[in-house]
Every structure is written in C-alpha cells, then in structure tokens.
Structure 1
Amino acid sequence: MIRIPSKWILAAGALVSVLASVNSSYAQQTIHVGWTIPAEESKYWMMRRPAEFPDIGKAYNIEWTQFQGTAPMTQALAAGALDCATQAPLSLANGVVGGNLKAYIVAQHVYEKPGGFSVYWAVKDDSPIKTIADLKGKTVGISVIGGGTYGPFAMLLKKNGVDPEKDIKLVEVGFAVSEDALRQGRVDAVNMNQPFAARAEAKGGTRKLFSLSEEMPNIVHILEACRADFVDKNPDLVRAYVRDITSGMKKALANREETLKVVSEVLKAPIPVLDTYLLKDNDFGRDPGAAPNFDAIQKMLDIYTATGMLPKMDVAQFKHPTIVAPLQ
C-alpha cells in the first residue's frame, strides 16, 4: 500500500493559510478552483475568455490557483482550501484514504485513446538506457510523486524488475522543464507530456523509452472534482460551474483556431508547436460534453487495488445524482 506521508496534515494546513483569504461576503458566490497544465482546455477558455460565459462574474465568481500537479490539489481539497480542482483518479483516491476527502467527480478533461498521445518517458538518443530494466541506479524525473502518472509508471517498473522506491532516484520535474532537465543531464529519463513532447521531438536528440499505455490503456488522466460538502451546500453554484465546464469543452472542440490561441496564452507555447498535435489524432481524447467515464475510472481503481496501491474502492462514492457533466 502507498504510504500517505504525515506531511499531508502540514501541507494542508499551510494551504489553508495561503488560499483561504477570500472576503467572507463573497464566500457563497465564489468558487476556489485549482488548475494545472496541460490539457484543461475548458478551464483555459473560462480563464482567458470569461466573456464567453455569461454566468462568470455575474452569477458566480472563480478564484483560480495554479498548482504543479494533481496531488497538491488533493491536499488543498482535503483541507478545504479549494472547492473544485483538477484531479487524477489515483490522487483523488489517495485523498480519500489519507485525507478523509469526500468529493464528487463532476467532469472529465482528457483520457488516452487508442492511437492518440500517451504520456511517455524519454531518454537521450545516445543514452545507454535501452529498456526499463536499465533504469536501475538511475535518476528518473516525474511531474509529481504520487500524482496521476505515478500509478501506471510504478506498475510498469515493477513488471520489469525495478522497484520504484528502492532501485531508482525518483525526483519531481515539472512537465514544462522536463526537456531541459534531460538535455542538461540532471535526470537520465523523464516524463514527457504535450506540448513539451512535441517541442522536444521537433528538436531531436531524444527517444521514447516507454509510455503509460503499455501498462494501462485508455487512462483517464484528469477529471474535475469538487468537495462533497461544498456541492451539498451550494448545488446551484456548482451546477453553474459544471455548465460552464461543459460549455468550455464544446467551445474548445468547436473552434480549434481560437483554442490554439487560448492554450498558447496559458502554456506560453508557440502556436506552431501546439498546432502539431492539439485536438488532432495524436492528442489526448476528450469527451465532447466533458462527461466522466466512471467505468474506466473504476477499472483504474481496480488495477490499483490489485497491485496493492489502494484498498478496494467503489467509484459510486464519487457520483452525484444530478451534478455532473454534461450540463446545459
């Protein structure tokens, strides 16, 4: 079983102090939302094109806080410092186990589809590392230890005789700096996500070692979760938010040209780089209504249970009877 570190409590307390500074008069109409990069196009539209969403700034407000990955947002949700946030199934489940988090999955951002992009680990072209087994004794980068990509990553290593806790030095390297960390030799292998993978591939000098789809096909990478107590106390407020998530996904898919601009503004990536993959066949998959795939999430939870990473868990605990995308 993955150990949930005691720093959960300390980190959660710190996050409350940092984030819970909103004026109480706005508490009922403001949603505190956590986000990260990449692949949250519906939320990027809401952030960068709020005029496209009539309820934002009128029916309710959003306070956006950026995080490095999903695991820190899980801590913030458990601490009550965030109301809604991007989550990975493993991060959310760890929040239940280690932080007594109760939450609803209200929408889904991206998943891995057959033939599309799969998060992968890269090495330099001239690296002696040819197989996963060759990672023993090496320094390996991952976006967030315990985050959404950690589960299938750890499972792949174990299947190839590498203990992810003992046989490698695992360090956190954000997606945005993964390429530089690899090229400068700070890590021997590192995870690659879009658009940074496309940028690195265009430059050359790196090669794919393995991808997560080899272990877990059709991964639900990131979804949107809201604290259950917040939803239960503010159902109309959260419905408005989920309606806008739904609308944001539809806008992102319907207007690729504008979406390229929106994503470029958020990720600070050139449009020509984004244009090589974003919303194309070699990108992640997106449900047109941002609907969560609860069956796929349950299969992921079952795999984590089978490998000893989680206790048995039923995805039904994350389902709200009415507040879930798509909402019109």
Structure 2
Amino acid sequence: MNKSLMALVLSAVAAAPAYAEEIPTLRVGWMIPAEEAKYLMIKRPELFPDLGKKYKIEWSQFQGTSPMMQALRAGVLDCSTMAPLSMAQAYLESGLESYIVAQHAHEEKGYFSPYWAVKKDSPIKSAADLKGKIIGTNAYGTGMYFRMLLWLKQQGIDYEKDVKIVETGFPASADAIRTGRVDSGPLVQPFALLAEEKGDLRPLFTLSEVQSPTVYSFEGCSKAYADKHPEVVRLYVKDLQRAMTKLLEDRKLAVEVTAEVTRAPAAMLDKYLFTDKDFTHIATMKPDTKAIQELLTLQSDAGFLSKPVDVSKFVRPDIMAPIE
C-alpha cells in the first residue's frame, strides 16, 4: 500500500469515532405508568428515523418525578417526566429552571380520574364521615397526595387533625382497604379496573372533583440544556408526537409495548389502555398550561408552595409541542 493511500485510510479511521461523537446525546428520565410515547421510543427505536442519526437518547428509569427533579438539578438528566407540583417545588426550593415541552397524561370529562375507594358496605358516604378515619396515599409528597389534601381541605376536613394518612402505594391499596388497614385508599389503573371487576369496593371521591381538566404529567427539559441545544429538544419533541400519533392509530401497538415495559399482562392492559377508562391522550401532546397554572394556584393558596409560581416562566414556544 503506498504512502498516500495509507494516509487516506488512517485519516478515515481517525475520523470515524469523531463523527460518532458529533451525534448529540439527550439524557432522559422515565417512569411507570402513563408514558406510552416513551415506551414506544425505547422498544421500537427503528420507527423514528432521526433517533440514532441526528440525536441519541440515554434512557434512565426512576420511581417518581421528585428523584428526577433531583437528577435534573444535579445535571445527570437533560429531560424527564414532571408533575406540576414537583416542577414548581424544584424551582422554588433548589432553583431548577426548566421548560414544559410535551404533555403525557391528563384527565378531562369522560375519561378516567384516579379515585379514593372504600369498602362497598362501608358506612363512609361523604367527606364528613372520614373524620377519625385512616386514609391511604400512594406516597407522601407526590402530586396525587397533595391533590388529595386539596380535596380534604375543600371539604372542610383538617388533614392534620381530623384524619390519619398512611402510605400504601398503589398496588397494595385495594388490599389495604379490604383488610381494614385503611378506611379509604387511592386507585389508579390497572388496580382500579381489577377492583371494579371484583366488585367489593366503591368510589368515595375522584381527583377530578378538585380540578378538571387536570394535568398529571408532562415532559420537561432543563433550561440550561434546552437553551444550549434547542434543536435536539425539538427533534425529541417531534419524536414524542410521532410516537403518540402511532399509538393512537394502533391501540394494539400501545398495549404491546406497554406490556413489554411494565411486564403487565397484555390482556389486562387491553381492557383500559387508550380507552375512556384511561387518562386522555392527544396526538399533538400540547401542554395545557392553563390547567397547570390553575392547579399551581390552588396549591399555592393552600400553602403547599412557599409562594405563587408563574407557569409562563417555564414556556419556550419554539421547543414546545406541537412541533411541525
């Protein structure tokens, strides 16, 4: 091999890893449940032409939005699932600045809303009957926990004096009610469906009574990353929209990938996923910033936030869904 050809080969070899490094990597946090668009991107990356070519994703699973806020603050993540309260608290308590870019799960009339249940034959019929009782929650400090506190406050119940609140988690909530560990506890899908099929529990109140429509979770990206790499965030948001569109067009695919990720039986998921027994899904994934603002105002007025939060601080229109 002559010297000029050898130089060309060496140049090409040296350039290969450099080219690979030029593809930007987005570090994304995710969790279970209600992130079907992400599940499709994780399990079927070949459906997204830009993924792996124009940008890459490094996925990390978390158990809730609060630890993801900590990871964003530490610079370990660039984007993640957020809830209105966790986003606001991270901003007020640690100075985390972020942008809302796409909406995952929300509730509106005609669709499923998480609810607190009691035994079917329980004498508890109203909020007043909860005085002196034990109420379960999925976990202290979560968005649903604070929504429950809002409901109690709206009903004239002092949640610090009139009731005792204990953690049950979602999977164990129904059994906690049945065994008397709690008098009322929270049900979300698929546990609500399973309880309804068994028929021994009944709803006491739904979170839609606090606010409807209401946003449960959305995608957010750190301001530091998004301002530096807006083109990467735009590619990501477009792929989230592409994923949601595909799932809405093919519910079987939604059930399939959700079963793969959650390891829940497909037959059970098929009973509610992407139906009116589920949260609402929209192809555009456009965030309902008005509903988010209304909820944060309710939480601020109730004292759950140290001061009011203006949602407009978390909006950058050019990277927010829908992106054409």
Give the Cα separation in 2 of the matches to 1:77 and 1:181.
34
Cα drift, residue 151 of structure 1: 3.0
Cα drift, residue 142 of structure 1: 2.0
Give the Cα separation in 1 of the matches to 2:21 and 2:183.
48
With the length of structure 2 as denominator, give the TM-score of the two structures: 0.86
Query: Of residues 195, 198, 219 in structure 1, which corresponds to 2:214?
Result: 219
Cα drift, residue 197 of structure 1: 1.1
Cα drift, residue 296 of structure 1: 1.7
Give the Cα separation in 2 of the matches to 1:170 and 1:111.
25
Give the Cα separation in 2 of the matches to 1:277 and 1:112.
14
Number of paired residues?
A: 304
Q: Cα gap change, 1:231/1:267 in structure 2, threshold over 3 Å: closer, same or farther? A: same
Cα drift, residue 137 of structure 1: 3.8
After superposition, the C-alpha distances for 1:203-248 in whole angstroms (9 at most, x for unaligned) are 2211111101112111111111111101112222212211111111
Give the Cα separation in 2 of the matches to 1:201 and 1:131.
20
Give the Cα separation in 2 of the matches to 1:63 and 1:183.
42
Cα drift, residue 253 of structure 1: 0.7
Q: Secondary structure at the match of 2:280?
A: coil
Residue correspondence of structure 1 range 1-328 to structure 2 within 5 A? 29-310=24-305, 311-328=307-324
Larger radius of gyration: 2
Give the Cα separation in 1 of the matches to 2:233 and 2:108.
29
C-alpha root-mean-square deviation of aligned residues, in Å?
A: 2.2
After superposition, the C-alpha distances for 1:39-65 in whole angstroms (9 at most, x for unaligned) are 111111111211111233333332322
After superposition, the C-alpha distances for 1:111-150 in whole angstroms (9 at most, x for unaligned) are 1111211110112224343322333343332223222223
**Structure 2 stretches of 5 or more lacking a match?**
1-19
Cα drift, residue 181 of structure 1: 3.6
Q: Cα gap change, 1:223/1:234 in structure 2, threshold over 3 Å: closer, same or farther? A: same
Give the Cα separation in 2 of the matches to 1:68 and 1:180.
22
Give the Cα separation in 2 of the matches to 1:90 and 1:174.
19
CA contact (8 A) 1:85 1:226 kept: yes
Q: Cα gap change, 1:62/1:170 in structure 2, threshold over 3 Å: closer, same or farther? A: farther
With the length of structure 1 as denominator, give the TM-score of the two structures: 0.85
Cα drift, residue 88 of structure 1: 1.1
Percent of residue pairs identical: 49
Give the Cα separation in 1 of the matches to 2:309 and 2:243.
30
Give the Cα separation in 1 of the matches to 2:266 and 2:212.
29
Give the Cα separation in 2 of the matches to 1:28 and 1:135.
56
List, as ranges, runs of 4+ consecutive aligned residues in structure 1 with deviation greater than 4 Å: 25-28
**Structure 1 stretches of 5 or more lacking a match?**
1-24
Give the Cα separation in 2 of the matches to 1:226 and 1:207.
39
CA contact (8 A) 1:68 1:144 kept: no
